[in-house]
Structures are given as C-alpha cells and as structure tokens.
C-alpha cells in the first residue's frame, strides 16, 4: 500500500504543479475584461452602469461624464454573466464606496431569458483564493470569443479602449427579424430582486434598461418588453425609452452591438437618460 | 464547510486527521473528544446559528437515552421507559416538525383559508442536516428502549451523532455500527492501508460530484428552471432535462457518500455503504435495496415494520408501503411534490408486489433470462426517472409541464436548418428552434449534453460501483502491483481534475434534506 500511496500523491502533486504553472501564464479575453472592469471599482462614481456587451459597446463613460456633469462608471461584462453579474459588481461597488446616485442595469433583450449559474458568476467575479488561482483549470468556455482570443494569442490587446474589441460587423440581412424568447429566467429575476433590495436599502434610483438592439427586431422585442414589468420588483423601474434601435448601417458584430464608430452617438443617448438637458435626442 | 471546498481539503481535513492521531496516541478519549469538537466546528462553519440546536438535541437525547437505559426507568407510568421514549420522540419530532414542517403546514392551511384569514409564516431557517441527526438519534433511543443499545460515554455518543463525515447528509448511522469502532484502541493509530483506501475513495467520490454531477447540473437546471418560469419544454428538452437530473442526483449523492466513506477510512472508521448501483436494479424493490440504503433500512425498521409490515395480509401491507413511502418522501422535503414522489414509489412497490403475487416467476417466465433482466432494468429506470420529476420540480405545475413535454404534448423541436419544412402541413406539430432549444439558450450545445449523458449512463449502467471495486483491495481477489499503480495514478488524476473544476459554492443536493 505504501507504493500505491506514493503513486497517488506523486501524481496529484505533479498535476497540481502543472496546472499552477499553466495558470500563471494563461490569459483569456474574459479574464482581461473582468480585470479591466474590476479595476474601475476603485473609483467612486455618481452613476453606475452595469450590464452586458450591449452596454459595453454603446457607452463611453468619459464622454457620458462630460455630457451629463456626473461621474459615470461603465462596469459592463458580457451576456454570460447577465443580471447575476450585475448584482455581484454592484455589491462589490457598494461595499467599497457606498450608494451611488443612480444605478442602470442594461441587458440585451435575449440575455434576460438566459438561465445563469449565479454561484459560478459570483465565484468568477470575486477575488480568487490562493488555492483557486493556483489550481483552477482553464475553463474552455472562457475562450469562446475566438477572434478576440486570437488577437490575445498574437500579443495584441483584446480590449479596444474600454471594452472587448469587435469582430467584423454583421450584415443586416443575416439578422433574423423573428426572435423566439423564453420568459425572463429565474436566475435573472432572483438577481433583480436582490438588486431591488440594495436600491431600497440604500435609497438609490435604479432602472432596468434594455440594451441597444437591431431595428429589424423591433416588433418582436417590443412585445417581449411588455412582459418584463410582471417580474420586475417595484424598486427597479423599467426605462421605457430603451432599447435604442440600431439602424442597419450602425450595426456592430452582433444584433445588439453598436458599431464602434457610433459609440459616441449612443453615449449621448445614455447621457440624456441620466441627466436630461435641452436638445437631448433619444 | 463542503467536502468539495479547498478549505476542507487543504486545511480542515489534514488538521483534524493529524491532531486526532496525535491526541489519540496519548488517550483514546482525548482523540474522540477532538474529533467530536472538530465535527462541531465543521457544522458551525456551515451554519453557526444552528449549532446551539444541534448541541441541545445531542444533550437532551443523551440524557433521555441514559434515563431509558437506567434500571430505575421501570417505576411509575410517568417515568417508565415507555413513557420516556414517548417524551423523547415528542421532543425529536417536535423539533423536526417545527423547523422543517411548520411553514409547510401553514402554507397548506392557508390554501383553504380566505385571503383575509391567512396564517403568518414562521420565521425559521431549516437547520442543515436536521433530518439526519434527528433520525440517527431516534433510532438510538428506540434501540435503547429495546435494550439493543447501551452507550454511556457522552464523548462517544456526541461523536456518534456529530461525526463530520456523515453529519450533514448521511449515511444514517446505526450505533451498533459505530460505537464498537470508537471503543477500539486500533482506531486511534494511523493505518497506511486505511489511509490509502481513504484517499482513493475520496478522490473518486470528489470526481463523481465535481466533474459528473456538477457537469450535468446546468442541463437539469436549464430545463426545470424554464419550466418553472412557464416555458413548455419540447420533447427532446424534457427528456434531456429529466435524464440529466436523474444522473446528476445519483452522482451527486453517491459521490458525497463515497467521499464520506473515504474520509472516514482515514480515521479508521468504516461507514455503511449507501449506494449499490441503483440504476442497475431490475425491479423497484431491488432499487430500494440499492438506493440510499441506510434510509431504506431506517424506514423499514422504524416505520414499516412497526406499522405492521407484511404481517397482516396484502391490503395492510400495501397500506403500510404507501404510508412509509409518502412519509419517506416528506422526510426529504416539506412540500407536496415530495409527497407525490413518495406516493409514486409507494404505488410502484404495490404494483411490484402485486405482480409478484400474480406472476411469481416474473418476466423470466415469458422471456429469456437476459431479456427479462434487461426489460426489468429499463422499466425500473423509466419509473424512477418519472418519479424524480416532482422530486426536482418546485411545484406540481412545473412537474406537469415537464410530463407534458415527455409525452411530446409541448411540440417536437427540429434543427433550425430544416425550417423550410415549417410550411408543410405534416410538420404542423413541429418547431424549428434546434434539437434542444432551452439548453441552447443557456449556452449548452447538443454534443455537450449528449456527451455528458452518455458518459454518466455508461458509468451508472456498466461500471462497478466504488465499494464493489475497492472490495478487491480489502480482502477480495488481490490486484497486482502494476494494477495498483495504475489505479493510484488514475485516482491522482481524478483528484487534480476535480480540484481544477471545483466550484466554490456547489453544495450537495441532499444537504437540503
């Protein structure tokens, strides 16, 4: 039995050293984004935006700050984190700085239906323990953004200023006008309720906004949005002036991504929502 | 604290193990006291607020047990051992009833009351493991009453109840299995054979939980979550969701039990086997001899037989079976869906016994033996799968949507690439949203699902279970040195992969019971 035990522990120790070595070297787009967005948690803001890539691609926080006269933070993650990701970022923000004046939760229309493992989200977004950072196997699901991952492997920055660099834009003809959407998922509803509790407890003005979306899907998206108030807690209002509809020539690499050239234009719209002023156009 | 956490594996377990043997070398009582204290810390780490309740339960039950065993407990009617047992049962069932079933009863009563007269809910959290530590102690008290138990050491009694490998989710321990082991001097001396078996068992149990059960969880969660929110799962989504949960639960709970057995072996304590490849069962009776075996034995010894068992004719037997299974269902959780699960199994058992009474030779009377066995396994597996649906679903309505889906009543989904067929009248009952539309919306691909299900089914149906496998190391046909080395390396790899994939907060499904 002694040699069996030695073989077992020998294999385990070698394996763990191997994983630790790989982990120390390996980078993914998603890890880069999380590190980038979490670094912003150190700065205090008046208005905090949390959400998915529809937000990340449409809001320039510095420009929004200048336009609105308020310090704006854009903590956008991706649709893989959905509302549970927003909750986690907000909890971390409030733990450091207390309540901001406004919170905006921005989700693309097709992210609301996604069932997300909130435990996994929280684990990913919290600071890893020594054990976790050493032994965690690289999750292949993190490397789904193939184009951006390729940039990373070539040594280029996968982030374009403030968010993940986009791939080639979509052709409007490739976007289906019809969307078959499930009701808002339980994991998103639960996270919305927790955010509502935060908003109520800290007296924060909170709103759920639907991220920009291709105009081609307007009819079906509007019908879906009408169902959202049924599951939305009272402390979070639904911003009825969203989504901002993306015209075909302004599309980025997804039906809910604004092309980088138009980010400033859409930032103006977000600024109008947080601090309405004369001449605002939504 | 979870077995599948870094804190447990790298800090708590090595510390508890090393100090146990250091103290045990000086005094067995000191070693046992340390293990009991470490077990209380383990429980308190998970649920500090419930720790006083656990300690109260242990102290009160120990005193009841001591009084029942006392020769003076045969005096007046009020202090007779029978009366003491009744008081003790009232205490235990009262605690369980209050913490686990009060709100269930209130919700049920409110369903019949007018909206203005509803009863307020009781503000209590379910103490983790309460069903397990309560049942363990009830069994002890009943056996003390029958003069089959005689423990007088408070340290050993406390350790018997709190012993951390089993405390939260079983297996349900019997004092006859544990007390003699606590009393053995050899228990307190490290043993390389036990340590080797322990780490190998633990590694493979961890793999079953972290890699297989947690790997299957997203599919089950996606389908049952969508059904709960009102979605109507299609035929393929429903079957994938039901199969995923069927295997998830098995690998989750049996993985937990394998880990518990392995951890316990490190301390030279043998825990009872709780699973024996249940999905290989060829009848529902056989299934209950293989699934959660310590609970089945408990229900049989302390509920079914006291109710009369099979001693008073068929009708009484069937009634007793149904009562036992419905109560067994409610033991799992305070909801009517669990009662429905228990009722389904009660019905299955009744049908099984009735079939045996009418056709004593079973299917083997009509079919070749291998085909009869295969048919029995298939029918049993299907029946068990159908019963897991209300077990997993939050409400009967959710279960109903999945059942409709299993029958194809929510439509059949085909790949979107065949969308051109939609205009054809013979495809009017079909939707063209992909083979698994709900799974796809949660980012799960068809090959992933089928891969996981195939692997899980292959292991559950065709591989020996861990106790069978390791029995070869414990006195069965010995393995060669090369085979042992391969096994050790495979277990080492299983441990590394499991540590790499471990989710920080993925509790075992049976913790909720």
pLDDT higher than threshold 80 for residue B75? no
Q: What pLDDT does A247 receive?
A: 94
Residue to mutate among A115, A228, A231, with most B CBs inside 10 A, is A115
Do B148 and B233 belong together in one domain? no
Q: Is the pLDDT of residue A94 over 90?
A: yes
- pLDDT tier for residue A144 given thresholds of 50, 70 and 90: very low
A15/B193 Cβ within 8 A: no
Residues B177 and B263 in one domain: no
Range of the domain at A208: 2-274
pLDDT, average across residues B284-298: 93
Shared-domain flag, residues B102 and B213:
no
Q: Which of A118-132, A260-274, B159-173, B321-335 has the highest mean pLDDT?
A: A260-274
pTM over 0.95: no
B332 is catalytic: yes
Closest by Cβ to B503, choosing from A4, A119, A187: A119
| Cβ partners under 8 Å of residue A173, min gap 6 | none
Q: Tell whether the model's pLDDT for residue A141 goes beyond 90.
A: no
Q: Is it the case that residue A145 has pLDDT exceeding 80?
A: no
Residues in chain A closer than 8 A to B502 (CB atoms): 135
Q: Does some domain include residue A280?
A: no
Q: What is the pLDDT of residue B446?
A: 83
* Nearest CA-CA distance, residue B298 and chain A, Å: 34
pLDDT of residue A143: 45
**Residue B377, in any domain of the structure:** no
Mean per-residue pLDDT, B41-45: 91
Do B10 and B70 reside in the same domain of the chain? yes
Q: Note the pLDDT of residue B473.
A: 66
Is the domain of B135 the same as that of B228?
Answer: no
Can you list the alpha helix ranges (DSSP code H) found in B70-191?
A: 81-96, 102-110, 130-145, 154-162, 164-167, 175-183
Within a domain: B289: no
Q: Give Dmax (Cα) for chain A.
A: 81
Is A282 a member of any domain? no
> What integer pLDDT is reported at residue B250 of this predicted model?
95
Torsion on CA atoms B194, B471, B13, A16, rounded to nearest 10:
100
CA-nearest residue to A120 within chain B is B503
Handedness of CA A24, A26, A31, A37 (dihedral sign): positive
Q: Are residues B120 and B256 in the same domain?
A: no
Across residues A142-170, what is the average pLDDT? 72
Last residue of a domain, one of B131, B165, B188: B188
For A121, A194, B240, the CA distances from A207, given in Å and listed in that order, are 22, 13, 37
Task: Tell me the C-alpha distance between A226 and A243, whole Å.
Answer: 12
Mean pLDDT of the B366-388 span: 94
Identify all chain A residues contacting B489, using CB atoms and an 8 Å cutoff. 7-8, 11
Query: Cβ–Cβ of A11/B493 closer than 8 Å?
Result: yes
Quick one: B116 and B231 in the same domain?
Answer: no
Residue A118's pLDDT band, with cuts at 50, 70 and 90, is confident
The residue out of B158, B188, B218 marking a domain boundary is B188
pLDDT band at A154; cut points 50, 70, 90: low
**What pLDDT, on the 0 to 100 scale, is given for residue B477?**
63
Query: pLDDT band at A142, cuts 50/70/90?
Result: very low
Same-domain check for residues B24 and B132: yes
Nearest CA in chain B to A113: B441
Contacts of B151 (CB under 8 A, 6+ apart): B65, B140, B157, B160, B175, B179
ipTM for the predicted complex comes to 0.72
Give the CA angle between residues A145, A146, A149 to the nearest 5°: 85
In a domain, residue B505? The reply is yes
Q: What's the pLDDT tens digit per position in B159-177?
A: 999 999 988 776 888 888 8
If you average pLDDT over every residue of chain B, what do you get? 88
Q: Would you call B443 and A114 a contact, using CB atoms and an 8 Å cutoff?
A: yes
Contact B229 A182 (CB under 8 A): yes
Is there a domain that residue A279 lies in?
no
Give the model's pLDDT for residue A129: 60
Q: Do the domain assignments include residue A108? A: yes
Distance CA A101, CA B278 (A): 57
Taking the CA of residue B106 and the nearest CA in chain A, the distance in Å comes to 24
- In chain B, residues with a C-beta closer than 8 Å to the C-beta of A15 are 492-493, 495-497
Option in B10, B438, B503 nearest A120 (CB): B503
| Residue A183 sits at the chain B interface (C-beta within 8 Å) | yes
Do B22 and B168 reside in the same domain of the chain?
yes
Assigned domain for B361 exists: no
Domain count, chain B: 2
Decide which of B157, B188, B219 is a domain's last residue: B188
Q: Is residue B55 part of a domain?
A: yes
Q: Are A179 and A224 in contact (CB under 8 A)?
A: yes
Provide CB contacts within 8 A for B140, sequence distance 6+. Answer: B61, B65, B149, B151, B160, B175
In a domain, A13, yes or no: yes
Does the pLDDT at position A280 exceed 70? Answer: yes
Over residues B7-39, the pLDDT tens digits come to 899 999 999 999 999 999 999 999 999 999 999
Is residue A119 within 8 angstroms of chain B, CB to CB? yes
B58 vs A148 pLDDT, higher one = B58
Position B148 confidence tier, pLDDT thresholds 50, 70, 90: confident
Check CB contact of A115 with chain B, cutoff 8 Å.
yes
A3 in contact with B, Cβ within 8 Å: yes
3-state helix, strand, coil in chain A (%, to 5): 50, 10, 35
pLDDT of A134: 65
Task: Give the count of alpha carbons within 13 A of A116, CB side only.
Answer: 30
- One domain for residues B201 and B135: no
Specify the pLDDT at position B100.
87
Whether residue A89 is contained in a domain is answered as: yes
For chain A, give the percent of residues with pLDDT over 70.
89
**B108 Cβ contact list (under 8 Å, min separation 6):** B336
Out of B174, B292, B332, B353, the active site residue is: B332
What average pLDDT is seen over chain A? 87
Q: Is residue A143 part of a domain?
A: yes
Mark yes or no for CB contact B229/A10 under 8 Å.
Answer: no
> Which CATH number goes with the domain that contains A107?
3.40.50
Q: Which of A82-86, A126-130, B30-34, B316-320 has the lowest mean pLDDT?
A: A126-130
Name the residue range of residue B129's domain.
6-188
| Chain segment A58-75, per-residue pLDDT in tens | 999 999 999 999 999 999
User: Which A residues 208-267 touch B at CB under 8 Å?
Assistant: none
For chain A, the domain total comes to 1
Let me know whether B128 and B209 are in one domain.
no
Q: What is the mean pLDDT of residues A8-34?
A: 82
Rg of chain A on CA atoms, in Å: 20
Query: Which range is most confident: A19-33, A168-182, A214-228, B470-484?
Result: A214-228
Which residues of chain B lie closer than 8 angstroms to A5, CB-CB? 192, 195-196, 199, 488
The helix (run of H) or strand (run of E) holding residue B431 is strand B430-431
**B372, burial (CB in 10 Å: exposed 0-12, middle 13-18, buried 19+):** middle
Residues B167 and B216 in one domain: no
Does residue A281 belong to any structural domain of this protein? no
Which residues fall within 8 angstroms of residue A25, CB to CB, at 6 or more apart? none
């Amino acid at each position: 039995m002694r040699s069996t035990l030695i073989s077992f522990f020998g294999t385990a120790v070698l394996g763990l050293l191997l994983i630790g070595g790989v982990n120390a070297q390996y980078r993914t787009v998603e890890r880069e984004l999380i590190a980038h967005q979490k670094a912003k948690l150190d700065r205090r803001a008046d208005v905090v935006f949390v959400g998915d890539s529809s937000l990340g691609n449409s809001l320039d926080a510095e420009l929004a700050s200048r336009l609105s006269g308020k310090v704006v933070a854009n903590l956008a993650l991706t649709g893989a984190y959905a509302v549970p990701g927003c909750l986690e970022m907000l909890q971390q923000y409030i733990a450091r700085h207390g309540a901001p004046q406004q919170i905006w939760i921005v989700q693309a229309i097709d992210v609301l239906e996604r069932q997300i493992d909130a435990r996994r989200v929280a684990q990913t977004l919290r600071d890893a323990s020594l054990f976790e950072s050493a032994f965690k196997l690289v999750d292949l699901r993190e490397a789904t953004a193939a184009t951006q991952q390729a940039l990373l492997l070539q040594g280029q920055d996968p982030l374009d200023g403030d968010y993940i660099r986009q791939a080639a834009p979509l052709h409007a003809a490739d976007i289906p006008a019809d969307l078959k959407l499930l009701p808002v998922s339980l994991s998103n509803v639960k996270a919305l309720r927790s955010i509502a509790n935060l908003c109520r407890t800290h007296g924060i003005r909170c709103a759920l906004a639907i991220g920009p979306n291709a105009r081609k899907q307007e009819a079906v998206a509007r019908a879906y949005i009408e169902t959202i108030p049924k599951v939305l807690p009272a402390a979070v209002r639904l911003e009825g002036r969203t989504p901002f509809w993306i015209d075909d020539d302004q599309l980025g690499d997804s039906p809910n991504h604004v092309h980088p050239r138009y980010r400033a234009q859409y930032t103006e719209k977000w600024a109008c929502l947080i601090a309405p002023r004369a001449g605002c156009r939504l | 604290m979870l077995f599948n956490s870094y804190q447990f594996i790298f800090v708590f377990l090595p510390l508890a193990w090393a100090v146990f043997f250091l103290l045990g070398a000086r005094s067995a009582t000191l070693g046992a006291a340390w293990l009991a204290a470490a077990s209380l810390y383990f429980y308190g780490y998970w649920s500090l607020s419930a720790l006083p309740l656990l300690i109260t339960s242990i102290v009160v039950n120990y005193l009841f047990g001591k009084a029942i065993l006392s020769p003076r407990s045969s005096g007046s009617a009020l202090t007779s051992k029978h009366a003491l047992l009744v008081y003790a049962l009232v205490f235990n069932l009262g605690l369980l009833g209050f913490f686990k079933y009060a709100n269930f009863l209130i919700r049920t009563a409110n369903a019949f009351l007018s909206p203005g007269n509803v009863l307020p809910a009781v503000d209590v959290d379910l103490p983790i493991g309460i069903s397990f530590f309560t049942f363990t102690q009830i069994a002890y008290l009943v056996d003390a009453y029958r003069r089959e138990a005689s423990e007088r050491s408070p340290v050993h009694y406390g350790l018997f109840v709190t012993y951390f490998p089993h405390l939260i989710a079983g297996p349900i321990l019997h004092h006859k299995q544990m007390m003699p082991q606590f009393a053995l001097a050899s228990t307190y001396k490290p043993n390389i054979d036990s340590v080797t078996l322990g780490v190998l068992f633990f590694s493979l149990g961890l793999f079953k939980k972290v890699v297989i059960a947690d790997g299957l969880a997203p599919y089950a969660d996606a389908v049952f979550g969508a059904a709960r929110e009102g979605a109507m799962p299609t035929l393929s989504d429903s079957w994938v969701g039901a199969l995923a949960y069927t295997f998830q639960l098995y690998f989750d709970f049996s993985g937990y039990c394998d880990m518990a057995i392995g951890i316990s072996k490190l301390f030279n304590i043998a825990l009872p086997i709780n699973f024996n490849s249940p999905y290989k069962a060829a009848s529902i009776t056989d299934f209950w001899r293989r699934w959660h075996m310590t609970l089945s034995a408990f229900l049989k010894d302390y509920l079914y037989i006291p109710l009369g068992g099979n001693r008073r004719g068929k009708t009484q037997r069937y009634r007793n079976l149904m009562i036992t299974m419905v109560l067994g269902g409610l033991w799992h959780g305070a909801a009517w869906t669990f009662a429905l699960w228990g009722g389904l199994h009660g019905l299955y058992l009744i049908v099984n016994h009735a079939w045996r009474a009418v056709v004593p030779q079973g299917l083997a009377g009509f079919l070749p033996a291998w085909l009869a066995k295969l048919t029995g396994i298939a029918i049993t597996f299907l029946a068990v799968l159908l019963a897991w649906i209300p077990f997993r679903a939050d409400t009967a309505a959710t279960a109903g949507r999945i059942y409709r889906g299993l029958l194809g009543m929510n439509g059949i989904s085909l790949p979107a690439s065949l969308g051109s067929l939609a205009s054809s009248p013979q495809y009017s009952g079909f939707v063209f949203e992909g083979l698994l539309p709900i799974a796809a919306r949660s980012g799960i691909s068809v090959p992933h699902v089928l891969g996981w299900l195939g692997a899980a089914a292959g292991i559950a149906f065709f591989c020996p279970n861990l106790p069978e496998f390791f029995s070869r190391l414990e006195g069965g046909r010995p393995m060669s040195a090369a085979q042992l080395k391969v096994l050790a390396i495979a277990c080492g790899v299983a441990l590394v992969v499991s540590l790499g994939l471990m989710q920080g907060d993925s509790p075992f499904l049976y913790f909720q019971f």
